[in-house]
Amino acid sequence: MRPEFVDAVLGIAAMVPTGQVLTYGDVAELLGAGGPRQVGRVMSHYGSEVAWWRIIRADGTLPDGLAERALPHYEEERTPLSAPGLSGHRVAMRRARWFPSDSDLARIEVLSRKLSEPAAGMEQ
pLDDT at 21: 97
Is residue 13 assigned to a domain? yes
Is residue 34 assigned to a domain? yes
Is residue 121 assigned to a domain? no
Average pLDDT over residues 30-47: 95
Domain span at residue 15 reads: 3-115
Is residue 103 assigned to a domain? yes
Q: Which helix (H) or strand (E) holds 56?
A: strand 55-56
In whole angstroms, give the CA distance from residue 8 to residue 5: 5
DSSP 3-state of 92: coil
pLDDT at 56: 96
Is residue 53 assigned to a domain? yes
The CATH number for 45's domain is 1.10.10.10
Instruction: Compare 124 and 82 and report the one with higher pLDDT.
Output: 82
Mean pLDDT of all residues in the chain?
A: 90
pLDDT at 65: 84
Is residue 123 assigned to a domain? no
| Total domains, the chain | 1
Instruction: Check whether 57 has a pLDDT greater than 60.
Output: yes
Identity of the highest mean pLDDT range in 31-45, 60-74, 76-90: 31-45
Instruction: Check whether 69 has a pLDDT greater than 80.
Output: yes
pLDDT at 124: 43
pLDDT at 15: 97
CB atoms within 10 A of CB 55: 24
Average pLDDT over residues 41-54: 95
pLDDT tens digits, residue range 81-105? 987 655 567 899 999 999 999 999 9
